Structure 1
């Protein structure tokens, strides 16, 4: 498992480009004796492990995402990325390796359980077109009863399990904006309309949607993550491009944020004599953890690491396209602590110095496998 994780870390691939990752994972799964490993969702894989203890139509999915991020690595690990500008800075290499280990473990124990565990190694969690949406479109959850997802968490001590019921990640939408003004000489800006000045005003005003218009207990994040415009020292910029993201926990708040973003951008542009073009794209919904599935993770975690190492933790403001699974079937998305307590620095997800304490990975794999067999042993849900 560790060797596989390190191979993937050295050879990361971006969303919808995971050709080598797909081929490598198929190879190691087949070498481990897994049968009928098949390509799905573009550059993903699926494999079914059928328990032989008795007849059962009950099925559960374990999902592991496999894509990397456009980040230059500075972690300092000896197996650092060999692809400049691409890094597994979100732990998907660890997810894939734990998915592999869970598959091998379940295959070795298939005579002890009934039903089927479907492992899905999913591409394109980080960027559109999202792999989770394609998994659903291809019908990979049509014949299953539930789904289990895992994510590493650098803020929790290595080997601890965190889970909670209800909304567990936020919805994620993205926007692109083009502000158009009029060029002029930089020495006489009154002859033009400064698109940079307009764009700067919008960045400031958009933050007030969260700080002044939304209940503090209602999760919403509006972030402008890119701004580009201008060029010459002596020319007023005629055009500026902005991009960003909206993260929300409730559909009503999501709709309000969309509406207010449009109103603020259009009114500010008009007030400055500029124009604006807005492109809003709806992304994944929130992940919602089913209480009965949370109970299964809590029991599986207690079996593997003890009840004291399983914490009831709130969700986080990140988004994850596992949300498409949770829309389709009762699901649970839990977090595995990967923080090494001997190291003072904690680097967050999507950071160039992000690191994983690999001692946690056997625990994650074991909890995935135990949760799957625990679910299969439960009475059929209504």
Structure 2
């Protein structure tokens, strides 16, 4: 390992990082309710001597680490998301969730722990670099109102020159890094629909309008927007993720609710999907004598990686971990509100592999048995720290 950042994660800090991660995993909190998570992270940071930790974006935190090697106006932000999901954990871990129905099934506990360790390492080494690193521990990545949108609204990116985000990836071998330029994740919107019919006796359905039948027709026909109306090379996913209606064996349901998500790779496709969703649902409802009310909530934009920053992450990871640690892999159809960061400032969102069969880290994100291979976390921390320092070293404006 040739980089000065390699090896900085000493056994004591490694143990504290794992302790932070396991505490957060044991006590997960949903989006916009991360008060305990916020408190624990603040206590951990301040115990390591970091001053100026402040509350942001509701239940988030931010702290600036100012390099003392030379004056510099250059700043880089590191984002670590901290919220959990409404999933009942089935891992059997000794530190499994103690909050029923809530679980860190997307690795945000690991992101927060790596952010903590990166902050400590940068604080310890601040005499050896110039510029500022802003650590942002962001709430509400998983659900509206999104924390990334609020981070931007509160001006946390107004004075930075770039941003770095990290996400664990259970499809990539443990300890490997992926950071490609260009489109990285898809935009994500959510929708709710209420299909209204007319109730009737189940023995005489012709006396009413069956909302369930209309809703089922919509579920099937919406898939044609993707399979028959969209270029296969133009990413679009429309998923119905919830359906509810009826309740009695002998009553034709007068109302059904649907909910789902739209994932898209371009703004034009996103807008077309919204229009076609409404046209298809309203057309089917009208054809069956029903009615439908559709509400679409615009979510996060796609994450687009800046080429220069992606190269900095790849070069930093290769220098610290070896050239074999940097892999090529396709982007994600998942979404992340780091897209708000990449809209605002040049940004890079890189993935840290955590797949290891021996560690049981083989399940996909958002799975009740999802596990993180903790042995991969030092690679993530080292890459974050080295990338931030390399970015700041490129400063040509001092003062």
Q: Compute the TM-score of the two structures, normalised by the length of structure 1.
A: 0.98
SS at structure 2 position matched to 1:213: coil
Q: Which residue of 2 aligns with 1:35?
A: 51
Q: Which residue of 1 aligns with 2:153?
A: 137
Q: Is the 8 A contact 2:239 2:261 kept in 1?
A: yes
Q: Which residue of 1 aligns with 2:358?
A: 342
CA distance in 1, matches of 2:53, 2:396: 27
Q: Is the 8 A contact 2:313 2:387 kept in 1?
A: yes
CA distance in 2, matches of 1:229, 1:130: 29
The C-alpha deviation readout for 1:244-273, integer Å capped at 9, x for no partner, is: 000000001001111110010000000000
Q: Which residue of 2 aligns with 1:163?
A: 179
CA distance in 1, matches of 2:96, 2:395: 45
CA distance in 2, matches of 1:123, 1:190: 50
1:212-361 equivalences under 5 Å are: 212-342=228-358, 346-361=362-377
The C-alpha deviation readout for 1:4-47, integer Å capped at 9, x for no partner, is: 00000000000000000001100000001111100000000000
The C-alpha deviation readout for 1:188-212, integer Å capped at 9, x for no partner, is: 1010000000000000000111000
Q: Which residue of 2 aligns with 1:99?
A: 115
Q: Which residue of 2 aligns with 1:370?
A: 386
SS at structure 2 position matched to 1:103: helix
- The CA deviation at 1:305 is 1.1
CA distance in 1, matches of 2:361, 2:145: 34
CA distance in 1, matches of 2:340, 2:222: 28
CA distance in 2, matches of 1:50, 1:143: 14
Indicate whether 1:21 and 2:37 are aligned.
yes
- The CA deviation at 1:345 is 7.4
Q: Which runs of 5+ in 2 are unaligned?
A: 1-16
Q: Compute the TM-score of the two structures, normalised by the length of structure 2.
A: 0.94
Q: Is the 8 A contact 1:155 1:339 kept in 2?
A: yes
1:186-197 equivalences under 5 Å are: 186-197=202-213
- The CA deviation at 1:239 is 0.2
CA distance in 2, matches of 1:331, 1:140: 14
CA distance in 2, matches of 1:225, 1:312: 31
Aligned with 1:185 (options 173, 176, 201): 201
SS at structure 1 position matched to 2:28: coil
Aligned with 1:175 (options 191, 203, 206): 191
Q: Which residue of 2 aligns with 1:121?
A: 137
SS at structure 1 position matched to 2:340: helix
RMSD value over aligned CA atoms?
1.0
CA distance in 2, matches of 1:130, 1:201: 32
Aligned with 1:78 (options 57, 72, 94): 94
- The CA deviation at 1:174 is 0.6
Aligned length: 381
Q: Which runs of 5+ in 1 are unaligned?
A: none
CA distance in 2, matches of 1:246, 1:79: 35
Task: Sort the Cα spacing of 1:10 and 1:142 in 2 relative to 1 into closer, same or farther, 3 A.
Answer: same
Segments ≥4 residues shifted beyond 6 Å: none
CA distance in 2, matches of 1:236, 1:101: 58
Q: Is the 8 A contact 2:30 2:86 kept in 1?
A: yes
Q: Is the 8 A contact 1:157 1:341 kept in 2?
A: no
SS at structure 1 position matched to 2:261: strand
SS at structure 1 position matched to 2:327: strand
CA distance in 2, matches of 1:113, 1:171: 36
Q: Which residue of 2 aligns with 1:206?
A: 222
Indicate whether 1:44 and 2:60 are aligned.
yes
Indicate whether 1:7 and 2:15 are aligned.
no
CA distance in 1, matches of 2:147, 2:361: 32
